[in-house]
Amino acid sequence: MARIIGSMSASHVPAVGNAIARGLQEDPYWKPFFDGFTPAQKWLAEVKPDVAVVFSNDHGLNFFLDKMPIFAIGAAPSYPSADEGWGIPVNDPWPGIPPLSWHIANHVVEEEFDPVICQQMLIDHAVCLPMACFFEDCGRNKGYRPVKIVPVGINTVQFPMPSLKRCFEFGRAIGRAIESYPEDLKVVLIGTGGLSHQLEGERAGHLNKKFDTYCMDCIAGDPSPLLGLSNVDLVEQAGTAGLEFMNWMTMRGALLGEVREVTRTYHIPISNTAAAVQVLEQLPRLAAAAE
């Protein structure tokens, strides 16, 4: 049976792609950001996952304001990137694993979620850049692909949006689906985006270290205090783009057992964003005991 070995979370910022392309990892501005991934890279080298289920939000390559699904699941054999207009180099595709994607999709529909199933799907900086940072050789060699991926998209852009509670419960359904998949696979969950930031309006540049720290504490321990927050609460605390924390919350929901925090880093600002990295390891348990 497939098993979830843990999770990794990281901010996604388009400027990171340009920094990687220009080899700025040791630049004084960028070094604290990139150094934050070193413990995660060491953990990955130890656990060696086969598949990454990546929770992110689309920035216009697949969906736009005229058609924005609440949830989407990729079920493609491969996932190419494309030009988003940021000047980020376009990388080689990441391989998919359609049988697992369809297993997840069928399972969550049985649990009364209604995602869009994408048999063709582009991936943008929200997937490509965290993957290049976690799997360091992907940043050096754009054709290196150590895992297959299942992209899961969450609407953090256009109202109406799912609540943190709904995202968490969607994640629970995905976690149950993964752990009922019959193939022997090690699966890592990746949540991208956030943390606090706002790029427009009177509060442009808004950051909230206290709230970000609180959220990371809850992700590492008991996430239930976050379930009562409304999207308005989240915007007030984390800024409009801080709604991307939904991706982290969906990821956390998919961790069905007890977890141990392996590492976390927090650095501000990177391109007007509170940049964070967090790794959780799921402790061994009986999958049947999960809720």
Over residues 211-237, the pLDDT tens digits come to 999 999 999 999 999 999 999 999 999
Amino acid at 191: G
Catalytic residue among 59, 103, 107, 125: 125
- The pTM score is 0.94
Over residues 69-95, the pLDDT tens digits come to 999 999 999 999 988 877 778 888 999
Q: Which regions of the chain does DSSP assign to beta strands (E)? A: 3-10, 51-56, 71-74, 78-79, 94-95, 116-118, 148-154, 186-192, 259-270, 273-282
Cis peptide before 14 (omega within 30 of 0): no
Amino acid at 122: L
Catalytic residue among 59, 103, 197, 206: 197
**Known catalytic membership, residue 59:** no
Give the separation between CA 207 and CA 222, rounded to whole angstroms: 23
Over residues 21-70, the pLDDT tens digits come to 899 999 999 999 999 999 999 999 999 999 999 999 999 889 988 999 99
